[in-house]
Structure formats: C-alpha cells, structure tokens
Amino acid sequence: MAAPMAHDRTRRPDENEEEDPVETLINKTGCAKLHYAVQDCMAEHQDWRKCQKEVTEFRTCVEKNMKKKT
C-alpha cells in the first residue's frame, strides 16, 4: 500500500482557486505548523491515538490564541 502524500504547504492557490477557509483560520491562529504536524502524523500512522502529542500541542496553541481574543 502506498503512503499517503503529505500536504503541499508551499503551493498557493492560483487566481481561479479559493483559499481553503479552514487553512485561513488556522494560519490566523499562528498554529499552522502544529496543525500540519497533526496531519503528517495522521498520514504516517493512520490512527489519531498515535498522534496525541501533536494533537495536544495544536489544541494548546489554539486555546491560547482564543484566550488572547477575549
């Protein structure tokens, strides 16, 4: 079975494409690098339970960002 392809973080949408709203929101949090770490772990292991470190780090980052806004 072939390994899943990693997300291409270097590609920008061309003028005919809309940017993914989820990616836009994640980029605004400053937590994109941690989000991609979760995605990479999931692609590698195919089991979110094996990615708890990455999930926890991402969740903590997002929670900190949300507290700043309140």
Q: Are 41 and 50 in contact (CB under 8 A)?
A: yes
What letter represents residue 15's amino acid? E
Read off the tokens for 9: 């973080």
Model pTM score: 0.69
Rounded-to-integer distance, Cα 44 and Cα 50, Å: 10
Q: Return the closest-CA partner of residue 37 out of 25, 24, 20, 50.
A: 50
Q: Binning pLDDT at 50, 70 and 90, where does residue 53 land? A: very high
Would you say how long the chain is, in residues? Answer: 70
Q: Binning pLDDT at 50, 70 and 90, where does residue 30 land? A: very high
Q: Please say if the pLDDT value at position 57 is more than 90.
A: yes
Q: Please say if the pLDDT value at position 11 is more than 60.
A: no
